[in-house]
């Protein structure tokens, strides 16, 4: 027996099917969206966003900047747990160590 899988691409805006449909990504207010659109629907999206793209600034992206501030790394959870137990502080043997316990550990070190 032969089994065949057929993928049907559908335009999210119009509901039409076609081979020329592509996935496009855009973001608004920190939320990324993906839409599958044929060329005509994609052009409508570009036309709608065009005025905003022209006056907007690029943010984020894949560019890397050097010399930025480095964030501090969290202390080793095993060491924090051992310290907390020696101090008589209740701490779970597994899972996340509470922010309160970590702050006490950091203040002591």
| Sequence ranges of the domains in the chain | 1-55, 77-108
Contact by Cβ (8 Å): 22, 35: no
Query: Number of C-alpha atoms within 13 angstroms, CB side, residue 24?
Result: 19
pLDDT for 79 beyond 70: yes
pLDDT tens, 7-59? 888 999 999 999 899 999 999 888 999 999 999 999 999 999 999 989 998 88
Q: Which fold has domain 1-55?
A: Wheat Germ Agglutinin (Isolectin 2); domain 1 (3.30.60)
For residues 57-86, give the mean pLDDT: 74
Distances (CA, A) of 30 to 9, 17, 20, 27: 27, 30, 29, 6
pTM, 2 dp: 0.51
Q: Where are the alpha helices (DSSP H) in 10-63?
A: 39-55
pLDDT for the residue numbered 64: 58
């Amino acid at each position: 027996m032969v089994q065949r899988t057929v993928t049907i691409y559908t335009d999210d805006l119009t509901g039409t099917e076609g081979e020329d449909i592509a996935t496009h990504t855009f973001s608004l207010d920190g939320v990324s969206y993906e839409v599958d659109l044929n060329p005509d629907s994609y052009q409508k999206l570009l036309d709608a966003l065009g005025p905003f793209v022209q006056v907007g600034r690029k943010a984020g992206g894949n560019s890397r900047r050097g010399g930025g501030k480095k964030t501090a790394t969290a202390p080793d959870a095993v060491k924090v747990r051992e310290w907390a137990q020696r101090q008589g502080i209740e701490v779970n043997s597994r899972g996340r160590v509470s922010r309160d316990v970590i702050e006490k550990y950091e203040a002591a070190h």
